[in-house]
Amino acid sequence: MRAEATQISALTAGAAHLLCFAGLAAAHGLAGRGALVSDPALALRLLVVCEAPIVIAVFSYLRRDAKSCSFFKAVARGLIGLPVGAFLNAFGAIVLGAPVGIKYWIATIYWSLVMSLFTFVPAACVFGASKIDWQNVLSHSIYFTPTDVENYMISAPCHGAVLGAWLGAWPMPLDWERPWQEWPICVTYGALAGYMVGMVVSLVLMTVHKRRVRAKAD
Amino acid sequence: MGAAVAGWTVAAVLLQVAGLSLFLYGFFPVKPTLRGFSGAESYQVPSCGSVSAGEQEPTLPPDQLRSLYRELSGIPPVYDRLVLMVIDGLPAEFVLGRGRKPPSKEMMESMPYTQSLLAGCKAAAYHAKAAPPTVTMPRLKAMVSGAIGGFLDVAFNFNTQAFLEDNLLDQLHMIGLKLVMLGDETWIKLFPTLFTRQDGVSSFYVKDTVEVDFNVSRHLEFELAATDWSVLVLHYLGLDHVGHIGGRRSVLMTQKMKEMDDVIRRVHTASLQDNLDRTLLVVVSDHGMTEGGNHGGSSYEETDSLALFIGHSVESPYCSPYDQKEALQVDLAPTLALLLGVPIPKNNFGVVLPELLNSLTDDQKLRMLELNSWQILRLLQAQVPAFCLEDCINSEGSIVLDILHGSIEKKLCHLLSKAFSSHQSSCLHRGSDFKSVKSGYYGTAADNYYGFLRYASEWLSHRATDKPFYLLVSAILLMTVSCLFLMSTVSCLFKARSLSQVDHHSESYLDQRWHLDEVLVLAGMFLYVISLGSSSFVEEEQYTWHFLTSTLYLIFLTKAVQSMLKGSNPTLGHKAEEKSFDKSNFSYATSFELTPGKRNVYKLCTILIVLVAGRVIRAWHQGGINWVHFPDISKLLAQADSSVVKSLQIISVLAVVVLFSVSLTLLRARPKFVIGVWLTHISCGFLVLLHIWANQISTSLPINHSTASIARQFYVIASVSISVTVLASPWVFPMFSTEAESASSGSSPVKAIHGIRNSLFLTGITYTAFWGLLQLLLQQPINAIPLFLIFLQTVSSVVHFSLDKTLHKQWVQVVAIHFLGMAGHFGLGNTNSLASIDVAGAFIGISSYSTVLSGILMFMITYASPLMLYLGLVLHVSVKDIDDISALQQLKWSYILDKMVTLPCLFPLLINSLALTSYTIVLLLMRNHLFVWSVFSPK
Ligand SMILES: [Zn+2]
Ligand SMILES: [Zn+2]
């Protein structure tokens, strides 16, 4: 199988996730506690600045068609994918009811860039324009049928981030009058939490899948 | 099978209706209130039997009425002037302390003048317990009428908020006193014609704590100098606003209390200068506040309101001001009525407060208690028709024996007769020279009176608010059973269908695994039902619906993209795609011979249209009940020039007509009849335009005959053309003709289905388009664009579902359409509050007032969007996938009917019954917390 040849190990995947997590932690450290609530634009900007190079570099390194596509080409794909994914995410958020007032624009732009890093950019770096792989990212079949390690690595955190952001929007209409109920703070918290859960889930799925493959081989 | 399903469904719906009406009956007890106003008869012993003394006394001029009352009561009025100062939201704890302790030092120092009056025994103060809902308007009503309003009185007079029951202010007005009101405009809403001078301030801008009170106090100097008024109502909102912003411990609180104390000092000194000390100053609060500064519920903090009286009759040599004397808020009404010499309001169940009578003689006190008792007795007679004073006195001897296990009526009877007999014996000893004997008789009589009054008052207030628990539970059980019925019917249907599907297409394209959209529908419904448990989600339900709808359509979008990716992949989905394409040879897409690429573009575009339109509708009306102050497009337009709104209206009328014409071109066969329908639709659109134009010209005239006649013409043309379409369309499209032979292999069922489809399509599109025009006529001008957008959403989602029938299961499509309807319902500015019902549109085209007609119109306006989407379901049925039926060689009408009709009917029913049932359960659980009040009663 083709997968056997380019199969990356679960260890590599774990290291990649760890690097991404380190980016998040660095952004958190730079911004300080509670920065997301007090100044969401600043915190989100730091998040983009810290996370973008790491994500693009890591996933360009893990590109699928390593033979035919150079590292820099993958980086370029990621750089193009960043604004495209940001646009899609911003569209989704606004359609779901995110405010469009002028004072929210900056925060919305940074938020959608962060979401793009979680969802669109990894897939753009790894898959390029391969339609079948994109279709795999959109579907939820990876949770039922075994596929490649990359699919787990990309899909699970991506789904986690989107689902987390969706769930994070629920407390917004409550009348608790807390500062974190503002757009996009609780949505960002939800997305971050979902992203991390997704990373863990992808690692779990990988090991389960590996064991199954091994059992089959025996 | 079909008959059984229908039977079950009808049974479930009937059960649901029965359960709901039972619940409403239990939850909103209709307490009998007495109509009319108390008059001279309230100074006579109530007679037995005839409860409603029908004899209408000739209305006397105010002066005569006043002297008549004075003569009949036998007591001269204790006060001539009343200053009623309402401090909104002030908890009595701030002034009187709690639990036998005076308030904190800080609080004492913030009201120095009031505290000095209390300490000097020149004032009497009570913790006056307020009944929920602890929001301003019902509390003001309770204070002036002495009654707790029925739950539904908001619903019954939505048209006017004016207070029509018997109340203190109207009584005072009737004896010719002049009233002046400064402060919260709620008073003006309640009593629009009563005040000689008034200056209302709005409680809308909660952030403002200074101006709102300054606007009241600026008149104070003038009014205190003026001598023409007898009743001055001051309503200060600032303290409530301070609470809403910063809670009880706000830094602004002491400052605000100092300001209030200063007002009390000014009013009191002014009234002392005044001639003979004939002014009573009453300081009350309508409700308290929670620690966070909110109110509405029934906690101690919220119901703990203040009643403080300053005047000569409360002065006494000895007093203990921090004794925490308890009273009810409704006690204010009889007390003030008796002190000012007017009859007690008819529905009052308050009790005259003892400390207000300190300066009166014993006989006068007993007379006041007697008047209070007579009034309450009249109210009791209205509630318990058999209750009678004479019977009580006659059977006195026999009752004494079984008081302990007697009924409540008997106990009341006993207390009453005891009170009256002790009063009589006290009268007999009036001549007695021994002071101690006299006061002894007085003491027992007063005690007996208070015993009766307190007991009766408690019983009456319980009757007004008690909800029969078991009735509510059984009602909810009924509704749950009906919900389960519907669910089981639906699941039966699914089982049958999947069986038949296995029979006919074993390689069914729809795999058995759960799809994302199905999961979302189920999870979304679950989240929605859960969210009804939170009051803020109920208040802001529009967010939930919009969120769920948009998410569902976003998932449709990803599915469409996914199928696009799959379709363009040559190895994977090509076969399936081809197959489905081949099968759908009756769809409207094929009538244009769309290439797959174009189909995909259309698929994406229709969803994008729905999504964007939904977002615009959402932005049109922001905020339900809590957040009405959020900026949105409708408020912008309200400030803008009226010509902008008019042009938007005209644009949306034209757009609806154009969209209808475009949809008609989708019909492949186009007989003359269709053109006729089209022409009538255009003429109707023209009439709507005329109506808008006529309104533009004459906005000054309240009822315009030309606009009414235009509206009536519209009603006639629209109803005629709709009924003609429904009746004639089956005959226009040939069902069994030979003409369509070339379409397919030529079996008659196929042609029949084709005919049915065309006629259904025409019917559905005509329904929705005419409904859209009707709504454009009826709704507020601001809602024109959202209405068009909802119409657009309906059409484009139906088109989307027809483009690819294999993408979503049918029940998901039905649910999506229902979701759109609900999102649109809230998008048109409706909320769960009765206050948001638009009444103005209910009189368009009606020449004389008719409750039924305007009720129907109001229903149409309120449920415009869900009804439009239900009509859109007819359209949806016409384009949906029934090709597998045509694959069957034999014709099974029942099966076709089953497939086409049952699902679209059952799903909205199921969702509605689910929502209703959970809503009632929430109401039952929260019936004591009563957040419901804040939803149902305007703040
Ligand atoms: Zn209030
Ligand atoms: Zn308030």
Please answer yes or no on whether A134 and B565 come within 8 Å at the CB atom.
yes
Q: What mean pLDDT comes out for the span B665-684? A: 80
Q: Could you give the CA distance from residue B164 to residue B568 in angstroms, rounded to a whole number?
A: 71
Q: Could you give the CA distance from residue B840 to residue B846 in angstroms, rounded to a whole number?
A: 12
Q: What mean pLDDT comes out for the span B868-877? A: 81
The secondary structure of residue B836, as a DSSP letter, is: G
Q: Is residue A5 part of a domain?
A: no
Instruction: Please provide the average confidence, as pLDDT, over all residues in chain B.
Output: 77
Residue B646: φ, ψ to 5°:
-60, -45
pLDDT of residue B588: 45
Q: Is residue A82 part of a domain?
A: yes
Residue B322: φ, ψ to 5°:
-105, 35
Q: What mean pLDDT comes out for the span B73-81? A: 87
Q: Which residue has the higher pLDDT, B580 or B837?
A: B837
Give this prediction's pTM: 0.70
SS3 content of chain B, % helix, strand, coil (to 5): 65, 5, 30
- Please say if the pLDDT value at position B736 is more than 50: no
Closest CA to B460 of B387, B542, B371, B405: B387
Q: Per-residue pLDDT tens for B808-839?
A: 777 788 888 888 988 998 888 877 665 566 66
Residue linked to tokens 């605000």: B256
Q: Is B537 on the interface with A (CB under 8 A)?
A: yes
Please answer yes or no on whether A166 and B551 come within 8 Å at the CB atom.
yes
The CA distance from B542 to the nearest CA of chain A, in Å, is 10
Q: Which residue has the higher pLDDT, B728 or B745?
A: B728
Facing residue for A132 by CB, picked from B547, B569, B618:
B569
Q: What mean pLDDT comes out for the span A90-116? A: 89
Q: Is A171 on the interface with B (CB under 8 A)?
A: no
Q: Quick one: three-class SS letters along B358-394?
A: CCCCHHHHHHHHHHHHHHHHHHHHHHCCCCCHHHHHH
Domains of chain B: 80-350 (3.40.720.10), 360-462 (no CATH), 514-891 (no CATH)
Q: Is residue A1 part of a domain?
A: no
Facing residue for B562 by CB, picked from A138, A169, A174:
A138
Q: How far is the CA of B293 from the centre of ligand 2 (A)?
A: 8
Q: Which residue has the higher pLDDT, B874 or B839?
A: B874
The answer to whether residues B489 and B906 touch, using CB atoms and an 8 Å cutoff, is yes
pLDDT of residue B862: 81
Q: Could you give the CA distance from residue B439 to residue B26 in angstroms, rounded to a whole number?
A: 48
pLDDT of residue B927: 57
Please answer yes or no on whether A138 and B561 come within 8 Å at the CB atom.
yes
pLDDT of residue A116: 93
Out of B320-324, B451-455, B544-548, B748-752, least confident range? B748-752
Please answer yes or no on whether A173 and B611 come within 8 Å at the CB atom.
no
Range of the domain at A139: 10-217
| Residues whose CB falls within 8 Å of the CB of residue B226, separated by 6 or more in sequence, listed in order | none
ipTM of the complex: 0.92
- Please say if the pLDDT value at position B333 is more than 90: yes
Tell me what percent of the residues of chain A surpass a pLDDT of 70: 95
Q: Could you give the CA distance from residue B393 to residue B398 in angstroms, rounded to a whole number?
A: 10
Chain B 515-534, residues with CB within 8 Å of chain A CB atoms: 516, 527, 531, 534
Q: What mean pLDDT comes out for the span B20-47? A: 75
Please answer yes or no on whether B572 and A138 come within 8 Å at the CB atom.
no
Q: Per-residue pLDDT tens for B780-804?
A: 888 889 999 999 999 898 888 887 7
Q: What mean pLDDT comes out for the span B569-573? A: 44
Peptide bond just before B343 cis, omega within 30 deg? no
pLDDT of residue B490: 79
Q: What mean pLDDT comes out for the span B197-211? A: 79
pLDDT of residue A114: 92
Please answer yes or no on whether A139 and B626 come within 8 Å at the CB atom.
no
Q: Is residue A3 part of a domain?
A: no
**What confidence category does residue B116 fall into, taking pLDDT thresholds of 50, 70 and 90?**
very high
Q: A with B: how many residue pairs have Cβ under 8 Å apart?
A: 54
Q: Which residue has the higher pLDDT, B286 or B150?
A: B286
- Please say if the pLDDT value at position B578 is more than 60: no
**Closest chain B residue to A129, measured at CA:** B565
- Please say if the pLDDT value at position B284 is more than 90: yes
Please answer yes or no on whether A96 and B547 come within 8 Å at the CB atom.
yes
- Please say if the pLDDT value at position B372 is more than 80: yes
Q: Is residue A87 part of a domain?
A: yes
Instruction: Please provide the average confidence, as pLDDT, over all residues in chain A.
Output: 84
- Name the H helices within B733-783: 748-778
Q: Is residue A126 part of a domain?
A: yes
Q: Could you give the CA distance from residue B27 to residue B474 in angstroms, rounded to a whole number?
A: 12
Out of A187-201, B430-444, B759-773, least confident range? B430-444
pLDDT of residue B851: 63
Q: Could you give the CA distance from residue B662 to residue B658 in angstroms, rounded to a whole number?
A: 6
Q: How many domains does chain A have?
A: 1
pLDDT of residue B746: 44
Q: Is B612 on the interface with A (CB under 8 A)?
A: yes
pLDDT of residue A195: 93
**What confidence category does residue B587 fall into, taking pLDDT thresholds of 50, 70 and 90?**
very low
Pick among A174, A176, A177, A181 to test the B interface (most B CBs inside 10 A): A174
- Please say if the pLDDT value at position B504 is more than 60: no
Out of A34-48, B736-750, B890-904, least confident range? B736-750
Tell me what percent of the residues of chain B surpass a pLDDT of 90: 16
